[in-house]
Structure 1
Amino acid sequence: MEIKSNQKIRVRLESFNRELLNTSIQKISEIIRDTGVYKAGVASLPTDKRIYCVLRSPHVNKDSREHFEIRTYKRIIEIYYDASVNIFDLLVKSDLPPGVFYRICIS
């Protein structure tokens, strides 16, 4: 499998919901497949886990606490493309679900 050019776009996706993240990856993969651009693949990054400790009562029972956690799931898609295809505009106009944060880096 040969890479046609050295132009690369890296899309980094982050979300608190894993299902939203997977559906947005499938949507981007369909957009890439329809244009016929070579895609390197999807790589998953480590999940960030933030744990917050909160007192249950502000005045008494200082030993009674609740723990809450927020997980942030992250993925990276690398896309190799030709100069003839304007893949950046297709990615910007793609309608990703709310709750998915994405960054597009061109290198």
Structure 2
Amino acid sequence: MEQDKIRIRLRAYDYKLLDESVKKIIETVKRTGGVIRGPIPMPTKIRKWCVLRSPHKFEQSREHFEVREHARILDITRVTPQTIEALMEINLPAGVDVEVKMRG
């Protein structure tokens, strides 16, 4: 299993929760003897939309909204069985989406 690599992609709307989760993962991997590369910050996806305040009157009166989605990538290059077990036991905050991919 020494040649395998794990890529972890984290996404969240709150960058503070995201950075906290990244720190937990890095500490866990280093404690179990794995080698980690990253975190690599990905471009922030910004979705914007405009809504009329009143649908029947004052068309120039509008509200603008946006949602920002932050993402980070971590690559674990040296994977040990202890690393995999420790990663399974990590409790991350509820607002963080995690994708894990094994690469051989």
TM-score over 0.5 for the alignment?
Answer: yes
Q: Mind listing any 5+ residue stretches in structure 1 that lack a counterpart?
A: none
Aligned mate of 1:75, from 67, 72, 75: 72
1:38 Cα deviation from its structure 2 partner: 1.0
Root-mean-square deviation (Å): 1.3
| Paired residue secondary structure (2:81) | coil
Q: Which residue of structure 2 aligns with residue 88 of structure 1?
A: 84
Q: Kindly tell me the number of residue pairs found equivalent between the two proteins.
A: 102
1:86 Cα deviation from its structure 2 partner: 4.4
TM-score, with length taken from structure 1? 0.88
TM-score, with length taken from structure 2? 0.91
| Paired residue secondary structure (2:16) | helix
Q: Distance in 1 between matches of 2:83 and 2:60?
A: 55
Q: Distance in 2 between matches of 1:45 and 1:76?
A: 7
Equivalent residues in 2 for 1:1-107, closer than 5 Å:
5-82=2-79, 84-107=80-103
Q: Percent identity?
A: 38
Per-residue CA deviation, residues 2-24 of structure 1 (Å, 9 max, x unaligned), is xxx43100000000001000000
Per-residue CA deviation, residues 63-102 of structure 1 (Å, 9 max, x unaligned), is 11110000000000000124x4243332232100110001
Which range moved further: 7-16 or 90-99?
90-99
Q: Distance in 1 between matches of 2:88 and 2:46?
A: 29
Q: Distance in 2 between matches of 1:66 and 1:88?
A: 47
More strand by share: 2
